[in-house]
Amino acid sequence: MARALLGRRRLRHDFARSALALGLGWEAVLPLPPAEFRRDFSDQEWREVEVLLGEAEHVRVISERGRREDSYLDGGMETVNHCDLLIAVWDGEPSRGRGGTAEIVAYARELQRPLIIIDALTLAVRKEHFESLQVGNRHLAKLNALPSVPAGDLPAGADEGFRRVHAFHLKVDHAATHGAPHFRRLITATVGLHVTATALAAASLAFHLHHAAMPWGKLLCLFGALGVALVVRHHRHQHDWVRSRLAAEITRSALAIWGLPRAVRLFDDFDWAGLEPLRRSLDVLQRRSARTRPAPFDEFKQRYLRERIDGQRAYFARQESKAVPQLARLRLGFTVSSVLAIVFTAVYALHSTLAQPIAPPWVEMAIFGFGPIVLPVLAAGFISLISINDLHRRVARYREMHIRLEAARKEAAFVQTWGALERVIAKAERALLQEVFEWHSITSFSETH
């Protein structure tokens, strides 16, 4: 996104009008609240500014109570922070006050932000750091190149922006669902094969099983474990399914709040994991849709409660109902294996120390030989599966999300204004997307190890 840093008020007006005349959207970053900002304009100029602000897709106030010059500096720096290309109209002279054009250009140069500097006196144009200008985005290009899937049913009266985002959501969701390597299952298979190989080796020693099939069985288990590990590695390099899932959940959130006449950006502070261009595209499409086709308050609220809040509550309830029994079974397996390993080892230790009579052969083979070797490995396998499947965190997170969504639903059911509803939605969507980004971080880390 290109933004302009303009040193003169007249040029600011002309820039905004030019953007609108070209069919482009524009955003206003105000250093001060409008009531305070207007002191820098004549009455006639401010009337023009008010008209332009009414046509802006987004108006953001940087400082509510800061010092005037500090607010101008913060506003300029924030403009640099959120732009891909900075256009500055500057006479080349030092700033005549804190937050002037010279300071902002110096900050952009320090960040090596692509710059177009137009000399305010000669109109000469100079470009800087254009080698770092990114045109397009490889992650978004990959997602856009995914094959389309049937659109299915759309809400009545859906505009073109909604249709495009809905179609994008369907294809990235389809790609994530069908392209996932199910690495947790594969790693579980690796653990199981290693435990089996250990059990076969222990059985050969403890029970004196010298059949030719035993070492071959162990060898097949080890080759199988290695093969599964290679499959996991192959999927890691060949499929961008984690990013597809992240994009699917981001667009799901966007579709849920489509039509909300937002006063602020809800998710500016997230680390978008390479999908910031997607977030900005969605933001622009949503704002234009909300301005041209505003949704009725009650209709929007009921749809959001029904489709987003209730739908997500049901999802987390289903996930918890699956994860809790799985966690309980693995905990039980770990406890039983650990206790038996301790008992078997203690019996063997006591027998050896106290010089007891010779134990029956089956006791020596099963309790003294096989059990103390296999049971600790089995216990380690169970605890590994709990960690691999992230069950402790998932169960706690599912319960927490259910509670937070229940609270959001109760609050949203009583609100009567767009501002209050926006605050409720902001809390709910932040919680939902935070869960997605946590999943993305954990999954990405697991995929690289």
Q: Phi and psi for 341 in degrees, rounded to 5? A: -60, -40
Q: Determine the average pLDDT of the residues in 174-186.
A: 76
Reduced to 3 states, what is the DSSP secondary structure of residue 212?
A: coil
Residue found by looking up tokens 């199988």 in the block: 224
Check residue 235 and give its pLDDT: 56
More confident call, 388 vs 416: 416
Among 214, 208, 194, residue whose Cα is nearest residue 374: 194
pLDDT tens profile 326-340:
999 999 999 999 999
> In this structure, is the dihedral angle defined by the CA atoms of residues 171, 176, 319 and 269, taken in order, positive or negative?
negative
Check residue 290 and give its pLDDT: 79
CA separation for the pair 338, 345 (Å, rounded):
11
Strands 2-6 and 85-90, bridge-based pairing: parallel
At residue 109, does pLDDT exceed 80? yes
Least confident of 198-207, 356-365, 399-408: 356-365
Any idea what the Cα angle at residue 361 is, between residues 356 and 362, rounded to 5°? 110
Among 159, 165, 417, residue whose Cα is nearest residue 290: 159
Residue found by looking up tokens 């083979």 in the block: 365
What is the overall mean pLDDT for the chain?
A: 82
User: Residue 260 in contact with residue 290, Cβ under 8 Å?
Assistant: yes
DSSP string, 396-408: HHHHHHHHHHHHH
Residue found by looking up tokens 């500090």 in the block: 70
Helix extents (H) in 120-182: 138-144, 160-179
Q: Phi and psi for 90 in degrees, rounded to 5? A: -145, 140
CA separation for the pair 230, 52 (Å, rounded):
59
More confident call, 360 vs 76: 76
pLDDT tens profile 273-315:
677 788 888 888 888 787 777 788 999 999 999 999 999 999 9
Q: CB count, 10 Å around CB of 436?
A: 18
Least confident of 4-8, 298-302, 345-349: 4-8
* Strand partners for 127: 116
User: Residue 41 in contact with residue 17, Cβ under 8 Å?
Assistant: no
More confident call, 401 vs 184: 401
Check residue 331 and give its pLDDT: 94
More confident call, 134 vs 250: 250
The answer to whether domain 2-132 has CATH 3.40.50.450 is yes
Q: CB count, 10 Å around CB of 156?
A: 5
Any idea what the Cα angle at residue 444 is, between residues 441 and 448, rounded to 5°? 140
State both tokens at 221. Answer: 């288990």
DSSP string, 6-65: ESSHHHHHHHHHHHHHTT---EEEESS-HHHHGGGS-HHHHHHHHHHHHT-SEEEES-SS
State both tokens at 77. Answer: 């720096």
CA separation for the pair 85, 140 (Å, rounded):
19
Structural domain spans, the chain: 2-132, 160-447
Check residue 3 and give its pLDDT: 46
| pTM, two decimal places | 0.75
Reduced to 3 states, what is the DSSP secondary structure of residue 30?
A: strand
At residue 7, does pLDDT exceed 60? no
Residue found by looking up tokens 């849709």 in the block: 289
Residue found by looking up tokens 């089956």 in the block: 362
The confidence band for 115, taking pLDDT boundaries of 50, 70 and 90, is very high
